[in-house]
Structure 1
Amino acid sequence: MWILFTFLAASMQAWRNAFQSKLSKEVSIAGGTLARFLWAGPIAAAYLAGLYLWRPVALPTFTFEFAFYVLGASAMQILATALMVKLFKLKNFAVGAGLAKSEALVAAILGVIFFGTQLSLLGWLGVLIGGLAIFMMGSRQGLKDISLPTALIGLACGTAFALTSLWVREASLSLSLPFPYSAAWVLLLVISIQTLVLLIYLMVKESNTLTMLWHRPKLTFLISTTSCIGSIGWFSAMSLQAVPYVKTLGQVEVFFTLLIAVFWLKEGVKIKDMLGLILIAIAAMLVMWS
């Protein structure tokens, strides 16, 4: 089940990144970040309501621990998305998305140190191979090609996404609800907080950005929809399996990203990108076997 949810999330996130990359050329970083959440709240609410109509269960009891995880995940995902949009402005689409995928390796390290995550030997091998593949695909001509600012932003983006995922899993596990209700509640609350925070910020600081988003309804809606469906996949998978495994398998998103980059955004792909995909496939198989 977690594998299916991860594939759903990876495919939707690839499309979300493609749409967001296009929008980032037209609006500010904050505007591109809000587009991810603007229409996602109603979709998440409809998903949760559908679950309760299908099979009613008890309402959750929220604790301070749960509130900390939800608020932390909300803040980190806003930061991660803003850094992702910034990467799109520094590098081409495929490279920007690839650099942000360092989150799998970071999630493994942070998870083992701070969250009690346990990985098998095969699991660690898969995470490391996946990290190597992402690094190889994120640089055009090796180490000399990656500027320090781009590398730092990419690492910061991956770290923020990793913390988001780890706190989302902890929030889901802290609710005394069956799957998938716990993940659906976390998703709705996280998206609602993020939307509210970004709306307030833009109304105060960049009111013209809201107007620009209003005049791009189709692109904004596509970003929000693919983002929400992808988040349903991520949140559900991370409720069932440890984050490093989910995020390593989720690197198959790069395959969808490259297809979109070539056929929709008309960007070139090199031979080493193909080698990187082979490594990602190996990493994915190791993680599933473990």
Structure 2
Amino acid sequence: MLWIPFTLLAAFTQALRNAQQKQLSADVSAIGVTLARFIWAMPLAGLYLLLLHLTIPSELPHFNGRFVFAVMAAAFAQIVATILMVLLFQRRSYAVGVGLAKSEALLAAILGVAFFGAQLGLLGWLGILVGAIAVWLMKGKSKPDSTDLSTLLLGLASGLCFALTTLWVRDACHQLTLPFMHTAAWALLWTIGIQVTSLVTWLALRDPGTLAKLWHRPSLVLRISLSSSIASLCWFTAVNLENVGLVKTLGQIEVFFTLLLSQHWLKEQVSGRDRLGLLLIIISAVLVIWPSLPG
């Protein structure tokens, strides 16, 4: 049951981070917005890990080859997923962009069962199916044109990369013989370190102007990184405790928070079709967690 509050907090802080990224994407490239997610998250993750070891002492971990591969794969998959989601924001509203990227729950469940030894019950699969229908509703018009279909594919690609990120993070955490909060914190620090190093190097060599733009938006960049750090830590902890498909389907409740932020903060309009899709996502999350509820 502990995975549920971690997932809910992750969903809320991720919705907040995505709204801030939407704001930044108005004048910063997709790669720059992606870097904003990680750049201050690294020292925050390091500070959290230090405080964790001071309050709950634990031995230092041994990092085997499988752990290193898994965190590297997760780091680059998350970079690609974030870039695709920012591009999605530029095509559709913030709420719909996030909704399409939430296809990751269905994809994570399928990949988890196929390649990572995960198991799901009947209600879990039903919840994932309802979530998939919701994503289809949010793809666009009832008779989609080529733009709608390409947007749907962009959302599915983003969801696939987010799903792979979560599965590889879970695999990395399971390589460490430490308490679950410590394993999540170490995986987070490694992942963010790889992401910051690669993105800063790329932009310094190919697009230094984007680094200058981020330098001139310190408050927004810090808020994005802070909310991203909290979200990532909660996701990493939740998937270390429970099946990825269940965690990510419950995580679709993020779309409820997204709708609130979209309407009341970003002042965007959401269609009736998209509202139905968002409602189905909430139903899908309830179906997934129902077997875990006490009594």
Kindly state the Cα deviation for residue 280 of structure 1 after the two structures are TM-superposed. 2.3
Kindly state the Cα deviation for residue 283 of structure 1 after the two structures are TM-superposed. 1.5
* SS state at 2:269 partner: coil
Contact 2:67 2:175 in 1 (8 A): yes
Partner of 2:29: 28
Kindly state the Cα deviation for residue 172 of structure 1 after the two structures are TM-superposed. 0.5
Partner of 2:187: 186
Alignment of 1:77-116 (within 5 A): 77-116=78-117
* SS state at 1:139 partner: coil
Partner of 2:144: 144
Kindly state the Cα deviation for residue 143 of structure 1 after the two structures are TM-superposed. 4.7
Alignment of 1:1-290 (within 5 A): 1-136=2-137, 138-144=138-144, 147-290=148-291
Q: Could you tell me which amino acid in structure 2 is paired with residue 173 of structure 1?
A: H
* SS state at 1:174 partner: coil
Q: TM-score, normalised by structure 1?
A: 0.97
Kindly state the Cα deviation for residue 45 of structure 1 after the two structures are TM-superposed. 0.8
Give ranges in structure 1 of 5+ residues lacking alignment.
none
Contact 2:30 2:87 in 1 (8 A): yes
Kindly state the Cα deviation for residue 281 of structure 1 after the two structures are TM-superposed. 2.6
Kindly state the Cα deviation for residue 97 of structure 1 after the two structures are TM-superposed. 1.1
* SS state at 1:144 partner: coil
- The alignment's C-alpha RMSD in Å is 1.2
Q: Could you tell me which amino acid in structure 1 is paired with residue 261 of structure 2?
A: I
Kindly state the Cα deviation for residue 79 of structure 1 after the two structures are TM-superposed. 0.5
Kindly state the Cα deviation for residue 19 of structure 1 after the two structures are TM-superposed. 0.5
Distance 1:139 1:150 in 2: 7
When structure 1 is superposed on structure 2, of 73-82 and 265-274 the one drifting more is 265-274
Distance 1:86 1:286 in 2: 31
Distance 2:253 2:136 in 1: 14
Kindly state the Cα deviation for residue 148 of structure 1 after the two structures are TM-superposed. 2.6
Kindly state the Cα deviation for residue 182 of structure 1 after the two structures are TM-superposed. 0.3
Give ranges in structure 2 of 5+ residues lacking alignment.
none
Distance 1:56 1:186 in 2: 17
The count of residues paired between Structure 1 and Structure 2 equals: 289
Q: TM-score, normalised by structure 2?
A: 0.95
Q: Could you tell me which amino acid in structure 1 is paired with residue 139 of structure 2?
A: S
* SS state at 1:180 partner: helix
Contact 2:71 2:169 in 1 (8 A): yes
Distance 1:106 1:139 in 2: 16
